[in-house]
């Protein structure tokens, strides 16, 4: 603890400075960071979805074992990205309404992969 001598007062009196309240970052900075985290996460997940959709279009044009394997891998990855995030990563996921919609699309893609697979055999 640091003590100071007053400039005008009794020479033997010590004055303890008042503790300054801790300054925390404003909540708006924290919420802004969460918003930015969510924005980047949503953009990244959207990119994976676009890649999966491109692979689906490719497989529908010419279904081969390799194109179906790539599509299945991409779809599985997208599905993993859509699982609810655990603390402290909640801000790095799609909003649940969007995630639920995309999970249904993943199921639809799985059905389509099976249909295309039957045609290639």
Share of the chain above pLDDT 90, in %: 53
Question: What number is the average pLDDT over the span 14-22?
Answer: 58
Lowest mean pLDDT among 37-46, 85-94, 101-110: 85-94
C-alpha angle 70-75-76 in degrees, rounded to nearest 5: 100
The predicted structure's pLDDT at residue 3: 45
Residue 62: predicted pLDDT: 93
pLDDT band at 23 (very low <50, low <70, confident <90, very high): low
What is each CA distance from 64 to 24, 102, 105, 120, in whole angstroms?
A: 57, 25, 21, 6
pLDDT tens-digit profile of 93-110? 888 999 999 999 999 999
Exposure string for 53-64, b = 16+ CB within 10 A, e = fewer: bebbeebeeebe
Query: Residue 20 pLDDT > 80, yes or no?
Result: no
């Amino acid at each position: 603890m640091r003590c100071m001598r007053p400039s005008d007062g009794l020479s033997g009196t010590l004055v303890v400075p008042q503790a300054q309240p801790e300054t925390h970052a404003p909540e708006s900075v924290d919420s802004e960071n969460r918003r930015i985290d969510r924005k980047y996460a949503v953009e990244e997940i959207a990119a994976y979805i676009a890649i999966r959709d491109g692979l689906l279009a490719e497989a529908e044009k010419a279904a081969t074992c390799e194109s179906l394997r790539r599509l299945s891998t991409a779809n599985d990855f997208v599905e993993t990205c859509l699982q609810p995030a655990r603390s402290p990563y909640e801000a790095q996921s799609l909003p649940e309404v969007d995630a639920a919609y995309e999970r249904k699309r993943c199921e639809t893609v799985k059905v389509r992969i099976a249909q295309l697979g039957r045609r290639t055999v």
